Structure 1
Amino acid sequence: MKKAYLALIIVSFFWGTTYLASRIGVRHTHGLMLAGLRQTTAGILLTAFFLLKGYKLPDKIILSRLFVIGVMMLCLSNGLITWAMQYIPSGLCAIIVATVPIWITIFSYFLVERSRLSVLLLVGMLIGFLGVGGIFYDYLASLMNPEFRLGIILTLIACVSWALGSVLTTRWALKVNFLYGAGFQMLFSGIVMVITALLMGHPFPSGGEGVELWGSLIYLIFIGSILGYSAYVFVLNNLPPSLASVYAYINPIVAVLLGWLILKEHINWITVISSLVTLTGVYIVKLAVSRNKQVA
Structure 2
Amino acid sequence: MTIKQKAYIGLVATSILWGTSWVASKIAVQQGVPGLEVAAIRQFLGGSLFVLFFLIRGEKFPTPKQLLWLTGMGMLLFVIANGFATVALLYIPSGLAALIAALYPLSVVVIEKLFFKNTKITAITFIGMLLGITGIGFVFYDNAFHNYTEGYIWGLLLSVIAMLSWSVGTIIIARNKVKMNAYNATGWQMLMGSFVLMIMVLVSGKSVPITSVPVNTWLAISYLVLASSIVAFVAFIYTMKHLEPAIASLYAYINPLVAILLGTLITNEKLTINIFIGSLITLIGVFLVNRSLKKQREQALTDPDAM
TM-score (norm 2): 0.93
**Structure 2 CA distance for aligned equivalents of residues 205 and 26 of structure 1:** 15
1:11 matched residue in structure 2: 14
Q: In the alignment, what sits opposite 2:67?
A: 63
SS of aligned partner of 2:154: helix
Matched, 1:261 2:265: yes
Identical counterparts, % of pairs:
35
Residues 1:194 and 2:198 aligned together = yes
SS in 2 for 1:207: helix
In structure 1, the residue corresponding to 2:139 is in which secondary structure? helix
Q: Does 1:148 align with 2:152?
A: yes
SS of structure 2 residue aligned to 1:174: coil
2:222 corresponds in structure 1 to 218
Structure 1 residues 51 and 144, CA, compared in 2 at 3 Å: closer, same or farther? closer
Q: C-alpha root-mean-square deviation of aligned residues, in Å?
A: 1.5
Specify the SS of the correspondent of 1:176. coil
* 1:102-121 → structure 2 map (5 Å cutoff): 102-121=106-125
Distance in 1 between the 2:238 and 2:276 partners? 31
Contact 1:112 1:171 in 2 (8 A): no
Aligned to 1:137: 141
- CA deviation after TM superposition for structure 1 residue 61, in Å: 1.6
Deviation of 1:57 (Å):
1.5
Q: Which residue of 2 aligns with 1:94?
A: 98
Aligned equivalent of 1:26: 29
Helix, strand or coil at the partner of 1:140: helix
Return the alpha-carbon distance in structure 2 between the equivalents of residues 192 and 131 of structure 1.
34
SS in 1 for 2:90: coil
8 Å Cα contact 1:143/1:149 also seen in 2:
no
Q: What TM-score results when the alignment is normalised by the length of structure 1?
A: 0.96
For the Cα contact (< 8 Å) 2:129–2:285, is it kept in 1? yes
Relative distance call for 1:36 and 1:123 in structure 2 (3 A) is same
Contact 1:142 1:148 in 2 (8 A): no
- Find the residue that maps to 2:144 and give its secondary structure: coil
* Structure 2 stretches lacking a partner, 5+ long: 301-307
- Quote how far apart the aligned CAs of 1:111 are: 3.6
Equivalent-residue separation in structure 2 for 1:199 and 1:167 (angstroms): 30
Counterpart residue identity of residue 223, structure 2: Y
